[in-house]
Chains A and B, each alone.
Chain A
Amino acid sequence: MNLPLLNNLSIYEERVRSLQTNNVLTWCSGCGNYGILNAVTHAMALENIGVEDAILCFDVGCNGNASHNIQAYTIHGLHGRVLSLAAGIKIADPTKTIIAFGGDGATFSEGVNHFVHSVRNNFPIVFIFHNNENYGLTTGQPSATTPCGAKMNAAPDGVSTQPINPLQFALSLNPSFVARTYSGNAQHMTATIQKGMQHKGFAFIEVLQACPTYNKETPDEWYAAHVKDIVEHPNYDNRDIWDARRIVEDLNDTFYIGVLYQNTDLPDFLSVQLSREGKLRLVDEVEHVSINNFY
């Protein structure tokens, strides 16, 4: 954490408070979203990202209902489409920190194509992937990350299809940043989100999220007992994609959390746009352009 700030708690507290709203939070009691929103708020405060510095982009789902629970410029778009929306925002104003939020339904069913191409494009945005392994807002149907056999709404005999492993999927796309954290650990979440904010490229952060209403198998306590911080792993090199691919395969005993893979050499989308070299905000360029030489 940022020590000078901790030495000045009143400034830090003020930054956090300035991001909080009076709007009522509408999640179930014990929902992982409370912790995630809190961690985002703290990460913003620690990174000194204020109201004029960031755009928060929300998908549709339980997480999306936070779009008015933070004093920030937010946009709450369509189900599955948040990454493309966020990319359009970042392209228009590269000076802003763009944080996108989406769930497992949005990311791996409705909008999986956007996820694939956002990773490929290495859009410089932070993507907080809320993985509670079900469709909470529509009352507990299975998602693409629900374990096979789980009895869910609309799947009374148990889910019959194999789940997607989100991190394995992401790693197959040659990403630049892949991290995992869980909704029961405020400090780890905050630190991981901060690292995502500092990354230059598409920062994919999976948050294993407790859903006390529809996913009783894996509450925060369960995660707490099964996760292990990657920094504790001997000889792990998070610059090695094969190390990362091996570590995310093992889902039964230990879930490693932290920044599991980072490639700082991969150029982000904006840095390879030759036509945009030396340019920043599109809005500053909106004026009549002579077309005399373009016929």
Chain B
Amino acid sequence: MKRLCIKIVGASGTGLLSTGDILTRALASLGFNLVSDREFPSLIKGGHSVYTLNVSEDSIYSLSRQADIIVALDKEGMEVYKDHLKDGGILLHAYERFGGIKDLIEEFQSRNVNVISVPGRKTLQEIGANHLMVNVLLIAMLWKVLDYDYEYVEAAIKEKFSSKPKLLEIDLIVLKKGWDLADKKLDFSKPKKPSARRFINGNRAITLGAIHAGCRAYYAYPMSPSSSILTYMAELASKTGMLVKQAEDEITAAQLTIGSMYMGARAMTATSGGGFDLMTESLSLVGMIEVPFVCVIAQRPGPATGLPTWTGQGDFHLAKYAGHGEYARLVIGVSNAQDAFDLIQHAFNYAELYQIPVIVLTDKQIAESLWTIEDFQEKAIPIERGLVSGEGLVSSDRYKITNNGVSKRWIPGDGPAYYFANGDEHLEDGSLTEDAEPAKAMIAKRIRKKESLLQAIEEPVIYGEEIADISFLGWGSSLNVMLDVIADFAERGVKVNYLHYRYLFPLKKGKLNNFFTKNKSVHLIEGNYTGQFGQDIEACGHEFAGKLLKWNGRAFFIEDVIEYIDQNLNKNL
């Protein structure tokens, strides 16, 4: 798989985000498949940030650590990210006090880096532009270095600044200037037939999936990296007619969601690990009163505030074990934009059909990375409510002890068969009881839903061939890197396969046993220290040949897995 990796580096607030945004638009309009993401510290201005873009004519899902091209918006960016540039790569910068970067440039040159520079301030001054427009200058130079058609980058600039005509006018002058100042330096062929591609991030995809599934209320308290779902929902509310409310805390967000779901609406909330901690008592209430509940946890590394703007998979155990008492639940792991759109719809269906909490795990990388996508297919996933009409029912139908644990659910007020949604242990109509036998039966009924749910959910999926030279098992965003790795190694003649779990708990075991029987070297890939999900696999009696774990807040780069395979491939054969 041929991929081009571009990194834009600099302090937050130097135009890094708009640079990334313009290049994403321009490259997507050429018809490239694309992944992009921004790594940044938890502050509004300053600190080192990097915007990474990976493009390919083939399908591409993950990011590379090593860049073919680095565009440095400031000196600090150059210094901090110098090791991210491949030997022989290209460095573009507009820093003009060459004395101050003499050693740095020499170091680059010793690594055969092609350093392309322009005196930024001076050049911009000459054409009457503001020094802050250095990013546009560099965008133009990059575009020329790649030798892609000018009209595409011009269109992206026009789209970006369409609401600011005066600024746009000068930006276009700067763009032309930058274009004239550079030459073609890299041959990375663009798609033969340019067709503008749509791109979207995971949080937007979750938002659209929920809206499509008939979610009518969204309640949340801001917490990175889930916050943009609230922004998107609120911005779209005038069109969707949804009720979107920022709550005073996560407990409130959960309670509002429960209240609306109890009344038969579809509602949801999203947060990150710390906010979900606050929701855990509410989760337990849902387990007891059997009200559907959908919550997205956009993971970031903890404990405590941890690394607020970084990524990880450290909250599987939180999702699996949260809340006191024993009750059935479903934990789903999302991987990318398409996955997010699909799985949030399934989350609503399972929550309603089984009257359980469904926790959907994403992470910062999924929430904020942009992927090019085909338009989402509408109505591909039916809406399944599991609701019945209250007419002709009796109160004790509501929590009737059934074989599969699921009883009839009707909207409160729909008919005379009132019931008590009682957080205390209760009888079939919800009347409080503390008697041993009814309590025993009711607790068992609620937990039995786990077994019927297990029959309904999908088995994990094998990517790559059934039998491979080296195998991986994982969940969530690990899928993205594994898809690219499988394709890369296939070109080298090495078979890599990957068993990917979307439904994490309860655990499907059918394919699992077969996968371990057929593949002799199965490795865990997981974005945490303790291999949380892997522990559930080990509890089934399976042994991993090795574990590729990462917990430094950074996503799995393709190099992480390639290096791991290179080290482990022959060892296990």
Residues on A facing B (Cβ under 8 Å): 23, 51-55, 60, 65, 67-68, 71-78, 81, 84-93, 96, 113-114, 116-117, 273-276, 279, 281-283, 285-295
CB of A77 within 8 A of CB of B252, answer no
CB-defined contacts of A84 to chain B, threshold 8 Å: 247, 251-252, 255-256, 259
Q: Which residue of A lies closest to B415 (CB)?
A: A52
Q: Tell me the complex Cα distance, A286–B267, Å.
A: 10
CB of B255 within 8 A of CB of A88, answer yes
CB proximity of A257 to chain B, nearest CB, Å:
30
**In the complex with contacts A283-B264, A288-B383, A85-B259 CB distance below 8 A:** yes
CB of B282 within 8 A of CB of A283, answer no
Question: What are 22 A-B contacts with C-beta separation under 8 Å?
Answer: A55-B412, A68-B431, A74-B422, A76-B421, A76-B423, A77-B423, A81-B252, A88-B260, A113-B252, A275-B237, A279-B241, A281-B263, A282-B217, A282-B264, A283-B265, A285-B265, A286-B383, A288-B383, A291-B211, A292-B378, A294-B207, A295-B208
CB-defined contacts of B399 to chain A, threshold 8 Å: none
Q: Tell me the complex Cα distance, A247–B200, Å.
A: 58
B411 at the A interface (CB under 8 A): yes
B167 at the A interface (CB under 8 A): no
Q: Tell me the complex Cα distance, A72–B264, Å.
A: 17
CB of A113 within 8 A of CB of B248, answer yes
CB-defined contacts of A60 to chain B, threshold 8 Å: 423
CB of A288 within 8 A of CB of B219, answer no
CB-defined contacts of B247 to chain A, threshold 8 Å: 84, 117
CB of B240 within 8 A of CB of A92, answer no
Q: Tell me the complex Cα distance, A116–B252, Å.
A: 12
CB-defined contacts of B418 to chain A, threshold 8 Å: 51, 71-74
Q: Tell me the complex Cα distance, A78–B252, Å.
A: 11
**In the complex with contacts A67-B420, A88-B219, A275-B240 CB distance below 8 A:** yes
CB proximity of B247 to chain A, nearest CB, Å:
7
CB-defined contacts of A114 to chain B, threshold 8 Å: 248, 251-252, 255
CB-defined contacts of A275 to chain B, threshold 8 Å: 237-238, 240-244
Q: Tell me the complex Cα distance, A84–B418, Å.
A: 22
B285 at the A interface (CB under 8 A): yes
Q: Which residue of A lies closest to B198 (CB)?
A: A295
Q: Tell me the complex Cα distance, A75–B411, Å.
A: 12
Q: A81-B251, A287-B383 are in contact. List 12 more A-B contacts (CB 8 A).
A: A67-B424, A72-B418, A77-B258, A77-B423, A84-B251, A85-B255, A88-B257, A96-B413, A281-B263, A282-B267, A286-B385, A295-B204
Q: Tell me the complex Cα distance, A132–B208, Å.
A: 48
Q: Which residue of B lies closest to A290 (CB)?
A: B378
CB-defined contacts of B219 to chain A, threshold 8 Å: 88
CB proximity of A77 to chain B, nearest CB, Å:
6
Q: Tell me the complex Cα distance, A286–B411, Å.
A: 13
CB of B252 within 8 A of CB of A117, answer yes
Residues 340-383 of B, flagged 1 when their CB comes within 8 A of A and 0 if not, give 00000000000000000000000000000000000110110001
Residues on B facing A (Cβ under 8 Å): 198, 200, 204, 207-208, 211-214, 216-217, 219, 236-245, 247-249, 251-252, 255-267, 281-282, 285, 289, 375-376, 378-379, 383, 385, 411-416, 418-424, 426, 430-432
Q: Tell me the complex Cα distance, A67–B207, Å.
A: 36
**In the complex with contacts A60-B423, A73-B418, A78-B281, A291-B260 CB distance below 8 A:** no
CB-defined contacts of A279 to chain B, threshold 8 Å: 241
CB of A89 within 8 A of CB of B263, answer yes
CB of A282 within 8 A of CB of B412, answer no
Q: Tell me the complex Cα distance, A294–B289, Å.
A: 35
CB proximity of B571 to chain A, nearest CB, Å:
46
CB of A289 within 8 A of CB of B212, answer yes
CB of B383 within 8 A of CB of A76, answer no
Q: Tell me the complex Cα distance, A81–B258, Å.
A: 11
CB of B423 within 8 A of CB of A52, answer no
CB of A276 within 8 A of CB of B208, answer no
CB of A68 within 8 A of CB of B432, answer yes
CB proximity of B430 to chain A, nearest CB, Å:
7
Q: Which residue of B lies closest to A71 (CB)?
A: B418
Q: Tell me the complex Cα distance, A293–B204, Å.
A: 13
CB-defined contacts of B214 to chain A, threshold 8 Å: 285-289
CB of A78 within 8 A of CB of B243, answer no
CB of B422 within 8 A of CB of A291, answer no
CB-defined contacts of B249 to chain A, threshold 8 Å: 113
CB of A74 within 8 A of CB of B420, answer yes
CB proximity of A53 to chain B, nearest CB, Å:
7
CB of A93 within 8 A of CB of B282, answer no
CB-defined contacts of A68 to chain B, threshold 8 Å: 420, 422, 426, 430-432
CB-defined contacts of A90 to chain B, threshold 8 Å: 259
**In the complex with contacts A73-B419, A78-B285, A96-B413, A293-B243 CB distance below 8 A:** no
Q: Tell me the complex Cα distance, A281–B217, Å.
A: 11
Q: Tell me the complex Cα distance, A68–B431, Å.
A: 5
CB of B416 within 8 A of CB of A52, answer yes
Q: Which residue of A lies closest to B199 (CB)?
A: A295
CB-defined contacts of B282 to chain A, threshold 8 Å: 78, 81
CB-defined contacts of A75 to chain B, threshold 8 Å: 259, 262, 289, 412, 420-422
CB of A91 within 8 A of CB of B259, answer yes
CB-defined contacts of B263 to chain A, threshold 8 Å: 55, 88-89, 92-93, 96, 281-283
CB-defined contacts of A286 to chain B, threshold 8 Å: 214, 216, 264-266, 383, 385
CB proximity of B237 to chain A, nearest CB, Å:
4
Q: Tell me the complex Cα distance, A71–B211, Å.
A: 36
Q: Tell me the complex Cα distance, A84–B421, Å.
A: 16
Q: Tell me the complex Cα distance, A289–B330, Å.
A: 25
Q: Tell me the complex Cα distance, A92–B262, Å.
A: 9
CB-defined contacts of B258 to chain A, threshold 8 Å: 77, 85, 88
CB-defined contacts of A89 to chain B, threshold 8 Å: 259-260, 262-263, 412
CB proximity of B439 to chain A, nearest CB, Å:
15
Q: Which residue of B lies closest to A53 (CB)?
A: B413
Q: Tell me the complex Cα distance, A114–B252, Å.
A: 7
CB-defined contacts of B412 to chain A, threshold 8 Å: 55, 73, 75, 89, 96
Which residue of B255, B260, B281, B289 is within 8 Å of A282 (Cβ)? B260
CB-defined contacts of B207 to chain A, threshold 8 Å: 294
CB-defined contacts of B419 to chain A, threshold 8 Å: 73
CB-defined contacts of A73 to chain B, threshold 8 Å: 412-413, 418-419, 421
CB of A273 within 8 A of CB of B243, answer yes
Which residue of B240, B255, B379, B415 is within 8 Å of A81 (Cβ)? B255
CB-defined contacts of B285 to chain A, threshold 8 Å: 77-78
CB proximity of B361 to chain A, nearest CB, Å:
23
Q: Tell me the complex Cα distance, A96–B415, Å.
A: 13
CB of A91 within 8 A of CB of B200, answer no
CB of A91 within 8 A of CB of B208, answer no
Q: Tell me the complex Cα distance, A288–B381, Å.
A: 9
CB proximity of B149 to chain A, nearest CB, Å:
25
CB of B211 within 8 A of CB of A55, answer no
Which residue of A88, A281, A289 is within 8 Å of B211 (Cβ)? A289
